[in-house]
Amino acid sequence: MSEEEHGASRPGRLRIGIVSAGKVGAALGSALRAVGHDIVGAYASSEASIDRLEAMLPGVRALAAEDIVRASELVVFAVPDDELAGIVGGLARLGVFRPGQMVVHTAGRYGAGVLVPAADAGALTLAVHPAMTFTGTSLDVARLVGCPFAITGPAMYVPIGQALVGEIGGNPVVVGEEDRALYHAALAHGANHLVTLVAQAMRMLGAAGVAEPGEYLRPLAEAALDGALRSGETLLTGPVVRGDAGTLKEHLAAMRALAFIDENAAEAYGDIPMSYVALATATTERAVARRVLPDSRRDAVLKALSGELAEN
């Protein structure tokens, strides 16, 4: 008996609909089907989502959103954050939600409050956000194992979310409704902005003549990230912590020279000095708060940073 056939014979299997077959929805749908749930349909309006549906959920029909909701015991909304409220509200006006139906969304920004139109119809509502970057390929399904998921909703429904996440190998963590914006901001700042930061460093290394900037930076960046994840700010080092204002001033001069050579350079590198100043200033304040940078050196560091910024 195959894994899917075995799962289908187990009790508690659900008829699940996916709105929509984007990167997140397709991966979650594939993972839920792998443990025996029945994926009754997925919304796929673009060519890319149709291709993804065929690749990751073969045999699952592309259906209209209202038809998916009507056919499902559990509806998973995996749509962009800014579109979620409008989609749920529109479906509620069509009267497709029903008592006892489970309605889940994967948006990091929101708790269960955005699903009130479904809850008003008697649905059991939850926010279940996977803290992972998705590629839109089958690799995502394997990476869900051990992935943390933020669960938010009424206390009586939270165990449902925990059970669903546990089924696919994820690690459920309860986050309060009032904390979702801060939670999501932390993830965006720590992951999305990390990509921007590393890419800026790679662009500077390339401009300095380093042939493979990513590989050159990898050992240092991986060690720094590992240290930060293990110990927070304890291992923070560099010219700010040393109070080396002269080095900071020279760094900024070099970045400004690179960014303002000509119009093309400004487009390629103009964002870097501003990012450097902002992060170096934040690092200065944290170093002072941790008492690894004396106040006397703080003033010199901030003067170097603000002085260069004013000249921009």
The whole-number average pLDDT for the span 63-89 is 97
pLDDT in tens, 194-212: 999 999 999 999 999 999 9
For residues 165 and 34, state if they share a domain. yes
pLDDT in tens, 254-297: 999 998 887 778 788 999 999 999 999 999 999 999 999 988 89
Q: What is the CATH number of the domain that holds 114?
A: 3.40.50.720
- Mean pLDDT, the chain, integer: 93
The confidence score (pLDDT) of residue 312 equals 40
Q: Tokens 């073969």 sit at which residue?
A: 58
For residues 118 and 219, state if they share a domain. no
Give the end of a domain, one of 175, 210, 233: 175
For residues 26 and 152, state if they share a domain. yes
Residue 126's pLDDT band, with cuts at 50, 70 and 90, is: very high
For residues 255 and 231, state if they share a domain. yes
Give the end of a domain, one of 122, 142, 175: 175
For residues 57 and 192, state if they share a domain. no
Q: What is the percent of the chain with per-residue pLDDT over 90, rounded to a whole number?
A: 89
Number of structural domains the chain divides into: 2
Residues 6+ apart with CB under 8 A from 167: 32, 35
Range with the poorest average pLDDT among 7-16, 94-103, 152-161, 198-207 = 7-16
For residues 44 and 114, state if they share a domain. yes
pLDDT at 2 over 90: no
For residues 70 and 157, state if they share a domain. yes
For residues 199 and 130, state if they share a domain. no
Q: How far apart are CA 132 and CA 144, in angstroms?
A: 8
pLDDT at 6 over 50: no
pLDDT at 7 over 70: no
pLDDT at 308 over 50: no
Domain that holds residue 211: 183-311
pLDDT in tens, 132-162: 999 999 999 999 999 999 999 999 999 999 9
For residues 213 and 244, state if they share a domain. yes
Give the end of a domain, one of 141, 175, 209: 175
For residues 144 and 284, state if they share a domain. no
Give the SS3 label for residue 147.
Answer: coil
For residues 41 and 134, state if they share a domain. yes
pLDDT at 235 over 50: yes
For residues 149 and 214, state if they share a domain. no
